[in-house]
């Protein structure tokens, strides 16, 4: 018998309930059956079946002497693929969309990927101006792309030294300028003084980037860039119009992660 439309598009309720139960145990463990009932609003018979299934799977254990239920170490396998950088991307998504909604230009976020910046998020599909149709998952050179320049200028000294060492040993033409110490030092000083980085001119590429770091403490979590057409405005005009909103957005992303971490610690 062919599956109905509802069968293929509706969430599988037992699975969704299991996730809700795991979230409740993650927030308050150990928990009694009564506490889990209150936290999830699931019927107790349903909770018992789900708990028995999770116990059989090794994700939950029942404590002796009516101590309730708690998670096991096996649940860590569920988060193994979720990296710290993923959290930054998810936190930044609504902020980048708001920037594009306001100013129309596409905005992107990238995180460090060893010796390059990996573009993780772009609002290109939300912008009427197509500058980089295939930007997602693209690795951008550290000393050419605005995203890379912003990262290397504001990251901690030890991290910067490690990145530059990799760039100097690279055979890629885009990384060759890393061997010019005077050029690199001048670039870093300029970016730090201005508070932003711009893209190095690339022949045949009409798009330019204005990038700022997302910083929490001493750590650069990611960088964001607004991509605009160089023939539409020069760098000075872009800075006048967009730098402050970009910096405010970067601060808001970092603050949202700080609040989330504080909320998780207090629960």
- C-beta separation of 136 from 110 below 8 A: no
**Cis omega (within 30 of 0) on the bond before 177?**
no
Domain ranges of the chain: 11-79, 84-266
> Which tens digits make up the pLDDT trace of 215-227?
999 899 999 999 9
Give the CATH fold of the 11-79 domain.
Arc Repressor Mutant, subunit A (1.10.10)
Look at residue 4 in the predicted model and tell me its pLDDT. Answer: 41
The closest alpha carbon to 114, from 170, 186, 154, belongs to: 170
pTM exceeding the 0.95 threshold for the entire prediction: no
- C-beta separation of 199 from 132 below 8 A: no
Q: Which position has the token pair 């463990």?
A: 29
In this structure, the number of other CB atoms found within 10 A of the CB of residue 54 comes to: 21
> Which tens digits make up the pLDDT trace of 116-155?
999 999 998 889 987 777 788 899 999 999 999 999 999 9
Quote the CA–CA distance of 45 and 51 in Å, as a whole number.
10
CATH dotted code for 84-266: 3.30.450.40
């Amino acid at each position: 018998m062919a599956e109905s439309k509802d069968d293929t598009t509706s969430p599988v309720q037992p699975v969704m309930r299991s996730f809700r139960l795991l979230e409740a145990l993650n927030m308050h463990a150990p928990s009694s059956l009564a506490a889990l009932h209150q936290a999830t609003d699931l019927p107790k018979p349903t909770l018992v079946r789900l708990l028995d299934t999770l116990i059989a799977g090794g994700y939950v254990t029942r404590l002796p002497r009516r101590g309730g239920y708690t998670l096991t170490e096996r649940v860590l396998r569920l988060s193994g693929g979720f990296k710290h950088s993923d959290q930054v991307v998810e936190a930044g998504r609504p902020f980048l969309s708001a920037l594009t909604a306001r100013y129309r230009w596409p905005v992107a976020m990238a995180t460090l990927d060893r010796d390059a910046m990996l573009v993780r998020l772009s609002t290109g599909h939300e912008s009427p101006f197509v500058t980089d149709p295939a930007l997602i998952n693209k690795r951008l050179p550290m000393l050419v792309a605005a995203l890379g320049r912003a990262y290397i200028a504001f990251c901690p000294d030890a991290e910067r030294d490690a990145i530059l060492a990799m760039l100097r040993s690279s055979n890629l033409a885009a990384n060759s300028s890393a061997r010019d110490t005077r050029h690199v030092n001048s670039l870093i000083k300029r970016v730090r003084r201005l508070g932003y980085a711009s893209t190095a001119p690339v022949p045949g590429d009409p798009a330019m980037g204005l990038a700022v770091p997302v910083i929490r403490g001493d750590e650069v979590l990611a960088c964001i860039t607004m991509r605009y057409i160089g023939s539409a405005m020069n760098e000075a005009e872009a800075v006048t119009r967009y730098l402050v909103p970009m910096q405010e957005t970067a601060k808001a992303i970092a603050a949202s992660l700080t609040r989330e971490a504080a909320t998780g610690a207090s629960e």
